[in-house]
Structure 1
Amino acid sequence: MHQRVTRQKAERLSRRSGIPLTADLGKYLGIQTINGRITKGRYQSLLLRIQKKLAPWKARRLSFAARLTVAKSVSASLPVYHMNTELIPVGVCKSIDKINRDFIWGDEENKSKMHLVAWEKMTLPKNLGGAGIRPTRQANLAMLAKGGWRLLKEKDTLWTQIMYSKYGRQQRHLDILRPSQGSSFTWASFTKAASLLKKGCAWNIKNGKHTKFWLDPWVLQVPLKEIAIGQLPAGSEEMTVADFVHDDGTWRTDLFERLLPPSISQKILSVAVDKLSIEDDTLFWSASSDGNFSARSAFNLSNDHQQDVDEPLWKAIWKLPVVERVRSFTWLVALGRIATNGLRHTRKVADDPSCYRCIGQSETVLHALRDCSPASFFWSRRVPPSRQHSFFSSNLRDWLRENILSKDSMATGMDWSAFFCTSCWLIWKNRSTACFEGMGAALSPHSLEHAIMAKTKLWHDAWNAPSRLPSNRQAPADWVLAHVGWTPPPEGWLSLHVDGASSGNPGPAGAGGVLRDSSGRWVAGFVANLGTATAALSELWAISYGLDIARKAGCRFLQVASDSQLAIQLISTRQDPIHPYATLLTAIRRKIGSDWVVRIAHTYREGNRVADWLSKHSLVYPYGMHELADPPNGVTSILRDDMLGTTFERRIITSSTPPL
């Protein structure tokens, strides 16, 4: 019985319908049906299921790496149905996180273990030094944002039509996700993720006729009005993006460049607008490369770690060709959080910070893994003499960087980085055995060395065994030394070589291209200052402008060459309409498909030197595309080399398609 229906009315409805009264609507797909006020008690069954999966007795039988893996798996799967449609109360989210945290560190009832790493650190992405665990609250908001995204994109489905008819009220796009009095719990949950959704949504400009230039997020994740300098002209707030573009697609810079920071104006200049297109502007997800929504990208966006330093060491640790327990141990070492006596003394769980072997020496991470006598004996026999000084004198972070980021290999074929990390783990295991079982239980320095060498070889062979099976064997790439240069087109054809350049990706970007006949003579050329763009976008602009130049020159048979395989792939593969480059790609395909013959192929940079020079010198020109009737002085020598057939040595894969 619903709490807003009187008892008398509920009984009357029950008699007429034959449906008995109940205060509990039961479960659907394992989830308790919502009826009444949402309390923490409603989620007790969920908490009990998670506790059962992450029971303390299971933790005692698993390594730290295994507990970490199990906790991620359970927290990512069990609450998923709830997270898609319900905003789980904060208290429940904290309880789930606590269950995960206690399981990972092996806590038992009334017996807490030492948590070596703060929870805030563990929930960071792996590339930022964390363990990649998703906090329940942020994961919940990311899932709800997915529901909001579907609501915006799947307007023809029954459930979205019901939602729009009940809550839409003629609102524009993202404005529909606003709280409504008396709304369902599901709708109220979606609205809680509206701020996250707005943060990641942007407009993909097609004809620009339905996106407000100042009021809608399209070039940034916030409306341009919020960063405008000074007062906007009267009536300009209702102007669309199309109103700021000439019919030929170039921008009317006089309407906005004095009202925006230069960096933003430069970014606008690289956006393609096709005023002649019949396609309307579409929403896309700016937090992913292809414009499609993903819960992972929404989660990363909610954590807002863009300003954090992406340390190569962290990526290298989690990609080591070793077992997971060695990766997890190495991560703890890099954080300085293995349970040495020094750390235990700091945490007040040990009376003496000294090493159990080296009395008077504080047991730090470096001491335990490098400087203590068994470790020092082992490394002095395995590290090449030329590297021993830096190996034994560097601090912890430099020591790890030098060895984990090393590209060296051992005589056995094992990567030095894998050998180094596995050896550190085995040295630590031997130290722990001596600590807790007595010195007699630990291996002597000589025995430890033999054990490490035997185990690392065994694990290396096991790790690489699948690659030796016939079903998994990949043919090695055949590299040959080739002579690469500019290749003239067939007689009667013209050759268009183009290139794009971006300093910063995204950053100041330009494009350039040259049109030549079969003898190598300059027919036409261009440079283009694109403003601010990515490398891929500048390559696409180069192809687009190059096609315009070739068409204007009266070309009927055209051979296009670019050194960007990505740009060629994007053009040849039909993209989703919400792809960030969809408008420009559509325009390029339209130009290619007109009444002429166009072939596009990849070339190496050595065969694209003229276009490369033009693209790099394009930024000295004002914004826009500039035709070049004659070659600039700096490029004449390169043109002459191409006409003479000059080539350059380059290692290429013989199985690849021969470039132009």
Structure 2
Amino acid sequence: MVLRRNLSSQPGGFARGPALTLCIERLGHLIQEELRRKRWKPIQLVRGGTELTHLFFEDGLVLFAEASLEQAEVIRSCLQRFCEASGEIVSMDKSRVFFSKNTKRDVCKEISDHLQITMTQDLGKYLGVPVLHGRVTKHTYKYIIDLIDQRHAGWKAENLSLASRVTLAISVLNAIPSYVMQTSMLPSGICDYMDRKIRAFIWGSQEGRRRIHLINWKTICLPKDQGGLGLRNARDLNTAYFLKLAWGILKQPGELWVRVLKEKYLREGPDGVELRRKTRCSQLWRGVRRVWGMMLEGVRWSIRDEEETLFWNDKWVDGDMVLEDHLLPSARGFDLQASVASMTTSIGEWNSALLSSILPN
């Protein structure tokens, strides 16, 4: 069960700011206290994985718990204590309760009636981004097309210089989908439509009157120092955002979102982190999986802790090479899990005698 609550200020309650932040923090303590007492039963996306109980936002929160009347009462009690302390009230009209497909209909109705909160199969949007839990189609992101069409229709391209049109395209049309692209891999049809609209606007095309495009789109999307105009191809921009997410999975192992994704979709293999093969996965992970290989191709080790870097299998040498590929035949059977540190002397210099016997000059 996922319960989304929206909070609204009550006359006489605490002002928004530090005082409310302290109250929200106290609600987190209440939830953790119930968890320690084993009264709150959290959800786990994989067996033995990270326990999820709550996510807090500026004007709302999401609570996770087992779908039962007992848990509904625990949630209600915690929120009641929070409201009494903070002066906030729960906006029932804006709150929704979401159940997994495995929950029986009669149980769903009982919990919904007990909480006096409407059931839903769609958690809507947060900060303009759909909370996806189903199949994604072109219609899912039609609102992006509508926003671009509205902006495009309000501008008189023929009254603007080419430089002005390019500036508007970069600062407005290119920027509209940027926030959504950071967590959603948009369908190709959406990306192609955005590129067509931007091209048409730059060259001054109007409805029913198409002007000649004097420079091809690939050239326009090059950086200015390479002869382009600095515009961004929609698919390339989307891919760049997901490469950043993939890199975050490697560099931020302690973050909650990384722990959850790694538990569900990754595993430690002999060659490092490997993807689990899953046919059903979240839309976020579909995008990460698409760029994972591209991200790994660009990963290089910076030698700081010599004990962690593998001498033979990690890409730490200039030239994008793996030293295992250059082992001399006489060195076959050498420990391929050896670290960089094991190839140095006690004073930190390379063990030349050893290296000359296992690697070509």
Please give the TM-score of this superposition, normalised by the length of structure 1. 0.36
Distance 1:147 1:237, change over 3 A: same
The aligned length equals 261
Cα distance in 2 for partners of 1:72, 1:11 equals 52
Question: Which aligned pairs between 1:551-590 and structure 2 lie closer than 5 A?
Answer: none
Distance 1:142 1:230, change over 3 A: farther
Amino-acid identity (%): 33
Give the structure 2 partner of residue 237 of structure 1.
Answer: 336
Tell me the CA shift for residue 73 of structure 1: 1.4
Q: Is the 8 A contact 1:152 1:174 kept in 2?
A: no
Give the structure 2 partner of residue 63 of structure 1.
Answer: 161
Tell me the CA shift for residue 195 of structure 1: 2.1
Cα distance in 1 for partners of 2:156, 2:106 equals 50
Question: Which aligned pairs between 1:317-396 and structure 2 lie closer than 5 A?
Answer: none
Q: Is the 8 A contact 2:243 2:292 kept in 1?
A: yes
Tell me the CA shift for residue 101 of structure 1: 0.9
Q: Is the 8 A contact 2:267 2:273 kept in 1?
A: no
Give the structure 2 partner of residue 200 of structure 1.
Answer: 298
Tell me the CA shift for residue 172 of structure 1: 7.6
Give the structure 1 partner of residue 132 of structure 2.
Answer: 34
Q: Is the 8 A contact 2:203 2:211 kept in 1?
A: yes
2:83 matches 1:13:
no
Tell me the CA shift for residue 191 of structure 1: 2.0
Cα distance in 2 for partners of 1:75, 1:220 equals 40
Aligned partner of 2:350: which letter?
Answer: W
Q: Secondary structure at the match of 1:204?
A: coil
Tell me the CA shift for residue 4 of structure 1: 8.0
Give the structure 2 partner of residue 175 of structure 1.
Answer: 273
Alpha-carbon displacement from aligned partner over 1:159-215 (angstroms, at most 9, x marks no partner): 223233333434589625555343222122222221232133221112311111221
2:173 matches 1:78:
no
Cα distance in 2 for partners of 1:221, 1:180 equals 34
Distance 1:222 1:71, change over 3 A: same
Q: Secondary structure at the match of 1:169?
A: strand
Distance 1:11 1:134, change over 3 A: farther
Q: Secondary structure at the match of 2:265?
A: helix
Cα distance in 2 for partners of 1:123, 1:102 equals 14
Cα distance in 1 for partners of 2:319, 2:105 equals 49
Q: Secondary structure at the match of 1:54?
A: helix
Aligned partner of 1:207: which letter?
Answer: D
Cα distance in 1 for partners of 2:238, 2:360 equals 36
Tell me the CA shift for residue 44 of structure 1: 0.7
Q: Secondary structure at the match of 1:249?
A: coil
Tell me the CA shift for residue 223 of structure 1: 4.9
Cα distance in 2 for partners of 1:152, 1:103 equals 40
Tell me the CA shift for residue 85 of structure 1: 1.2
Aligned partner of 1:136: which letter?
Answer: A
Give the structure 2 partner of residue 147 of structure 1.
Answer: 245
Cα distance in 2 for partners of 1:129, 1:66 equals 18
Tell me the CA shift for residue 252 of structure 1: 3.1
Distance 1:5 1:206, change over 3 A: same
Q: 2:317 aligns with which of 186, 211, 219?
A: 219
Cα distance in 2 for partners of 1:138, 1:153 equals 22
2:235 matches 1:137:
yes
2:152 matches 1:54:
yes
Q: Secondary structure at the match of 1:175?
A: strand
Q: Is the 8 A contact 1:141 1:193 kept in 2?
A: yes
Tell me the CA shift for residue 113 of structure 1: 0.4
Aligned partner of 1:252: which letter?
Answer: N
Cα distance in 1 for partners of 2:136, 2:355 equals 49
Tell me the CA shift for residue 11 of structure 1: 5.2
2:285 matches 1:187:
yes
Give the structure 1 partner of residue 346 of structure 2.
Answer: 247
Cα distance in 1 for partners of 2:281, 2:178 equals 23
Tell me the CA shift for residue 241 of structure 1: 1.3
Q: Which runs of 5+ in 1 are unaligned?
A: 263-660
Cα distance in 1 for partners of 2:148, 2:272 equals 35
Q: Which runs of 5+ in 2 are unaligned?
A: 1-96
Q: Secondary structure at the match of 2:181?
A: helix
Q: Is the 8 A contact 1:200 1:221 kept in 2?
A: no
Cα distance in 2 for partners of 1:172, 1:49 equals 47
Give the structure 1 partner of residue 24 of structure 2.
Answer: none
Tell me the CA shift for residue 142 of structure 1: 1.1
Aligned partner of 1:249: which letter?
Answer: G
Cα distance in 2 for partners of 1:174, 1:98 equals 41
Distance 1:20 1:256, change over 3 A: farther
Distance 1:3 1:55, change over 3 A: farther
Give the structure 1 partner of residue 10 of structure 2.
Answer: none
Structure showing greater radius of gyration is 1
Give the structure 1 partner of residue 6 of structure 2.
Answer: none
Aligned partner of 2:183: which letter?
Answer: T
Cα distance in 1 for partners of 2:226, 2:151 equals 29
Question: Which aligned pairs between 1:470-481 and structure 2 lie closer than 5 A?
Answer: none
